[in-house]
């Protein structure tokens, strides 16, 4: 009995070292545990995402649309700076002050509470989407297996689309795509206007994507863009090749409209861009689709891929080569770590394909565009 009393007093004494931080830590851990326990209920996740998360994102998106720069980038910069300053400050105090054990404990609890609270909020504002009905289920899209013949037909369809729209976009003195990046961002609120009429799951306010100032850093991390659920902003890398920017914008806007899965965000980016009809968006969408379809076809039928690849125009070939050269310069250990971390994140939300899920849009593309590819081949 006496031992239990002493143990209780010991726990109480520890809790008293930083009570507010302990409460925040416990509440955050509880919310994360609740999310893990309930995310298997698709009906509940769908209810939370539709009734709570999407309205919050729409409100945040409209609010931050009045700010000409990325609030997300500012918050991330401030957070990283504050974290570094706090850690350095605490290390200095740890060596100079007394009660080193207590001070170290408070520091660790503070960092843990901050990290868990951010992650708990992330689970609510983004994680629930992964366990609600996805875009394909809401919109009745088929994403079943496809034949090599179908895959080849749709790959050729997008190769010819790239040839067509590639001749319509602006080009520099080297023949590379030189689409006006500012104009692409300016037009971005209009991209989903037609598509959302037929697919209400993509409905959302007409918000513009935002360019990131530290885009070069994003390239080192192997990111072309990201959706920031805490500000509901679609952020894009402005340093990556111009031919990819419009499709990246559409991809991140898909996330902004509640499409969580990467393969579906790629598909909806292609769908919305082509329906929008702007040459810059159509060309970028065709390159995105051709890349994923071509990679799949090369694995299934290399000869068919070689035949279709030979049909690409010189303009398209130059853009694809320039894109490869651009990303090759960032193949560093930093990029590998970034990819490993992000793949771990995808696995934590049961996206078992990991980074390969970026290519899983192939089935959706083939099922949707196969009939159109056949029609385009008719004399």
Q: Count structural domains, the chain.
A: 2
pLDDT for 334-371, tens place per residue? 666 665 665 665 555 555 554 343 346 898 999 999 99
- Considering the domain architecture, whether residues 125 and 159 belong to the same structural domain is answered as no
- Considering the domain architecture, whether residues 225 and 183 belong to the same structural domain is answered as yes
pLDDT for 150-176, tens place per residue? 999 999 999 999 999 999 999 999 999
- Considering the domain architecture, whether residues 350 and 253 belong to the same structural domain is answered as yes
pLDDT for 302-332, tens place per residue? 999 999 999 999 999 999 999 999 999 998 7
Q: Which residues pair with 211 in a beta bridge?
A: 236
Rounded Cα distance between 179 and 240, Å, is 12
Residues shown for the chain: 379
Of 97, 114, 131, the last residue of a domain is 131
Of 77, 96, 131, the last residue of a domain is 131
- Considering the domain architecture, whether residues 50 and 154 belong to the same structural domain is answered as no
- Considering the domain architecture, whether residues 124 and 187 belong to the same structural domain is answered as no
pLDDT for 74-101, tens place per residue? 999 999 999 999 999 999 988 887 778 8
- Considering the domain architecture, whether residues 70 and 160 belong to the same structural domain is answered as no
Q: Does residue 178 contact residue 171 with C-beta atoms inside 8 Å?
A: yes
Q: 216, 206, 230, 261: which is closest to 70 by C-alpha?
A: 230
* pLDDT band at residue 181 under the 50/70/90 scheme: very high
- Considering the domain architecture, whether residues 350 and 209 belong to the same structural domain is answered as yes
Q: 78, 341, 57: which is closest to 223 by C-alpha?
A: 341
Structure token pair of residue 55: 């309205």
Mean pLDDT calculated for residue range 226-252 = 97
Q: Which residue has the higher pLDDT, 358 or 279?
A: 279
Residue 356: what pLDDT? Answer: 40
Mean pLDDT calculated for residue range 204-221 = 96
> CA-CA-CA-CA torsion for 154, 310, 241, 182, nearest 10 degrees?
-60
- Considering the domain architecture, whether residues 184 and 240 belong to the same structural domain is answered as yes
Of 85, 110, 131, the last residue of a domain is 131
The pLDDT of residue 9 is above 70: no
Q: 77 — phi, psi (to 5°)?
A: -65, -45
Q: Which residues pair with 64 in a beta bridge?
A: none
- Considering the domain architecture, whether residues 183 and 112 belong to the same structural domain is answered as no
Range with the poorest average pLDDT among 47-51, 97-101, 254-258: 97-101
- Considering the domain architecture, whether residues 247 and 193 belong to the same structural domain is answered as yes
- Considering the domain architecture, whether residues 127 and 142 belong to the same structural domain is answered as no
Could you give the percent of the chain with pLDDT greater than 70?
A: 90
CB neighbourhood size of 55 (10 A): 11
- Considering the domain architecture, whether residues 120 and 173 belong to the same structural domain is answered as no
The pLDDT of residue 73 is above 90: yes
- Domain extent, residue 262, equals 136-376
Q: What is the mean pLDDT of the chain?
A: 90
Q: 2-16 vs 19-38: helix axis angle to the nearest 10? A: 100
């Amino acid at each position: 009995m006496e031992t239990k009393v002493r143990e209780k007093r010991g726990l109480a004494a520890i809790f008293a070292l930083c009570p507010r931080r302990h409460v925040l830590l416990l509440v955050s851990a509880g919310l994360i545990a609740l999310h893990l326990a309930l995310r298997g209920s698709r009906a509940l996740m769908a209810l939370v995402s539709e009734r709570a998360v999407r309205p919050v994102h729409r409100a945040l998106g409209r609010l931050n649309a009045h700010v000409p720069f990325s609030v997300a980038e500012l918050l991330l910069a401030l957070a990283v700076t504050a974290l570094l300053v706090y850690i350095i400050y605490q290390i200095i105090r740890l060596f100079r002050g007394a009660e080193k054990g207590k001070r170290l404990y408070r520091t660790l609890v503070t960092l843990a509470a901050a990290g868990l609270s951010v992650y708990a909020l992330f689970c609510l504002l983004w994680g629930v989407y992964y366990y609600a009905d996805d875009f394909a289920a809401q919109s009745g899209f088929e994403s079943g297996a496809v034949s090599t013949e179908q895959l080849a037909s749709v790959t050729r369809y997008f190769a010819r689309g790239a040839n067509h729209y590639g001749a319509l976009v602006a080009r520099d003195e080297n023949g590379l795509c030189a689409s006006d990046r500012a104009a692409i961002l300016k037009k971005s609120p209009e991209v989903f206007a037609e598509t959302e009429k037929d697919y209400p799951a993509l409905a959302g306010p007409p918000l513009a994507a935002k360019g990131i100032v530290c885009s070069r850093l994003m390239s080192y991390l192997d990111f072309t863009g990201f959706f920031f659920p805490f500000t509901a902003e679609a952020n894009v890398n402005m340093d990556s090749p111009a031919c990819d920017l419009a499709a990246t914008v559409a991809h991140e806007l898909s996330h902004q409209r509640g499409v969580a899965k990467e393969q579906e965000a790629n598909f909806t980016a292609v769908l919305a861009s082509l329906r929008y009809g702007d040459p810059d968006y159509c060309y970028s969408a065709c390159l995105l689709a051709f890349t994923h379809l071509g990679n799949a076809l090369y694995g299934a039928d290399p000869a068919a891929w070689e035949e279709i690849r030979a049909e690409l125009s010189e303009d398209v070939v130059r853009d694809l080569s320039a894109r490869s050269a651009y990303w090759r310069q960032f193949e560093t250990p930093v990029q590998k770590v970034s990819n490993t971390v992000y793949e771990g994140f995808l696995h934590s939300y049961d996206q078992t394909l990991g980074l390969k899920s970026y290519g899983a849009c192939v089935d959706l593309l083939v099922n949707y565009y196969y009939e159109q590819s056949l029609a385009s081949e008719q004399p």
